[in-house]
Amino acid sequence: MSIIRPIRLSDLDRLCELAMDSGPGFTSLPGNRDLLEAKIMASEVAFSQTTADPLGASYLFVLEAAQDSKVIGVCGIESAVGLREPFYHYRLGTVVHASRELGVHNSFQTLYLCNDYTGCTEVCTLYLDPEYRRDNYGSLLSRCRFLFLAQFKQRFPGKVIAEMRGVSDAQGLSPFWNGLGRHFFSMEFSEADYLTGLGNKVFIAELMPKHSIYIHLLPEAARQVIGEVHEQTVPARKLLESEGFRYEEYIDIFDAGPTLACELKDIRAVRKSRYVEVHIGPFQQHTTPFLISNTLLQNFRCTVVEIAPSEGRITLTAELAHLLQVSEGDRVRVVPLKSRS
């Protein structure tokens, strides 16, 4: 059994270990202890606030193995990106060059630096210890955020995005960065990515080209990875797409990883989740796994159970009710863990 809960300052040492394990290209989890401590503290503030922060708040969750209380994963939500500092993407577009006199008509794909997703909610910072990439741990870690969004809709705008990690090799080298960004920044991909993770984004606006970039002028290796994900990110992309997220032709400015987006109300786990009442007692295991969460903010808890809710209620063991911090008669939110279609 494992449980999702809000991160605590006591998790700092373990979070630093996960950050180091995540490797280059994981912008939202940089290997910097001071910054990670600040992220935890910001999250604690967000969970303690009774009203939503109009400039956006950061929520961090950890996945804890209940048997030994070991933190095995982390995930997060940014309630509104780009309101405190610029949030950059490349938007893919098309430019047509035509001459009637010469009988020439050419269309070219372009990249344009933009801030189009400003104000959107972002699901982010998803990382699971490789030893636990099994038994629905990854699915729980990713999808728990959707029950939190469903429960506290008033804290989040209407569109939710997810930046996917782009293609890089074992040494952290990015073909897209080598073909484009390196020419403007005069630094390695890992350094630029690290600075972005620290929140130092002013240099992006200062150094990136302000005009459209013609994709066909980039090296072939750079063109081939536009909108593609890192091999370790393929399952995460498929999971989000099964929840209704789609690629809208926006990419990361450093590694060209795709950004997926979905209206909050259209996310499957949000749309299909419902309340049921808790009954505590023995239960018969069901074959269909369900995602279940309490309705608390500061003490939010979420896990996966193989118990079928029926007639507006769900029967939990005393142990499971304790993990979820619920009592007899409380309401919980449930949804099938995966789409049945």
pLDDT in tens, 242-269: 999 999 999 998 899 999 999 999 999 9
What residue has token string 């209206």? 263
pLDDT given for residue 321 in this prediction: 95
Same domain, 143 and 279: no
Domain assignment present for 329: yes
The pLDDT-based confidence of 205 (bands split at 50, 70, 90) is low
Which residue stretches of 152-256 are H helix?
A: 175-176, 182-185, 189-197, 202-207, 220-224, 234-242
Q: b/e per residue, 28-66, with b = 16+ CB within 10 A? A: bbbbeeeebeebbeebbebbeeeeeeeebbbbbbbbbbe
Taking the CA of residue 307 as centre, how many other CA atoms within 13 Å lie in the half-sphere pointing to its CB?
21
pTM for the complete prediction?
A: 0.91
CATH of the domain at 300: 2.40.40.20
Domain assignment present for 101: no
The pLDDT-based confidence of 151 (bands split at 50, 70, 90) is very high
pLDDT given for residue 26 in this prediction: 65
Domain assignment present for 163: yes
Please determine, for residue 200, whether its predicted confidence score (pLDDT) is greater than 70: no
pLDDT given for residue 85 in this prediction: 84
Q: Among 134-143, 160-169, 303-312, whose mean pLDDT is lowest?
A: 303-312
Same domain, 319 and 240: no
Please determine, for residue 150, whether its predicted confidence score (pLDDT) is greater than 60: yes
pLDDT exceeding 70 applies to what percent of the chain?
95
Task: Choose between 54 and 190: higher pLDDT.
Answer: 54
Which residue stretches of the chain are H helix?
A: 12-22, 33-48, 137-151, 175-176, 182-185, 189-197, 202-207, 220-224, 234-242, 268-272, 318-324
DSSP state of 165: P
**Terminal alpha carbon distance of the chain:** 27
Burial-class residue 97 by CB neighbours within 10 Å (0-12, 13-18, 19+): exposed
Q: What is the mean pLDDT of residues 123-131?
A: 92
Q: Which structural domain range is residue 203 located in?
A: 2-90+114-267
CA proximity to 229, closest of 191, 201, 256: 256
| Spatial contact of 237 and 229, defined as CB atoms under 8 Å apart | yes
Number of domains in the chain: 2
The pLDDT-based confidence of 328 (bands split at 50, 70, 90) is very high
Please list, in sequence order, all residues whose beta carbon lies within 8 angstroms of the beta carbon of residue 290, skipping any fewer than 6 positions away: 304, 305, 306, 307, 308, 309, 334, 335, 336, 337
Q: What is the mean pLDDT of residues 221-239?
A: 94
Task: Count other C-beta atoms under 10 Å from residue 113's C-beta.
Answer: 17
The pLDDT-based confidence of 290 (bands split at 50, 70, 90) is very high
| pLDDT per residue as tens digits for the range 40-82 | 999 999 999 999 898 899 999 999 997 888 999 999 999 999 9
Domain assignment present for 98: no
Verify whether residue 230 is a known catalytic residue: yes
CA proximity to 188, closest of 158, 206, 168: 168
Taking the CA of residue 31 as centre, how many other CA atoms within 13 Å lie in the half-sphere pointing to its CB?
10
Same domain, 281 and 318: yes
The pLDDT-based confidence of 186 (bands split at 50, 70, 90) is confident
The catalytic residue among 89, 183, 216, 230 is 230
Domain assignment present for 314: yes
Same domain, 282 and 327: yes
The DSSP bridge partners found for residue 73 are: 63, 128
pLDDT given for residue 153 in this prediction: 96
Same domain, 169 and 302: no
Q: Among 44-48, 92-96, 192-196, 279-283, whose mean pLDDT is lowest?
A: 192-196
Q: Across all residues in the chain, what is the average pLDDT?
A: 90
Same domain, 197 and 227: yes
Please determine, for residue 25, whether its predicted confidence score (pLDDT) is greater than 60: no
Q: What is the mean pLDDT of residues 176-190?
A: 83
- Pick from 247, 267, 287: which residue ends a domain? 267
Same domain, 296 and 228: no
Task: Choose between 84 and 196: higher pLDDT.
Answer: 84
- Pick from 267, 291, 324: which residue ends a domain? 267
Domain assignment present for 100: no
- Pick from 232, 267, 302: which residue ends a domain? 267
Angstrom distance (rounded) from CA 47 to CA 57: 9
Q: What is the mean pLDDT of residues 87-102?
A: 89
CA separation, residue 220 to residues 25, 77, 175, 217 (Å): 21, 35, 9, 9
Domain assignment present for 242: yes
Domain assignment present for 156: yes
Same domain, 6 and 42: yes
CATH of the domain at 18: 3.40.630.30
Angstrom distance (rounded) from CA 31 to CA 163: 19
Task: Choose between 138 and 187: higher pLDDT.
Answer: 138
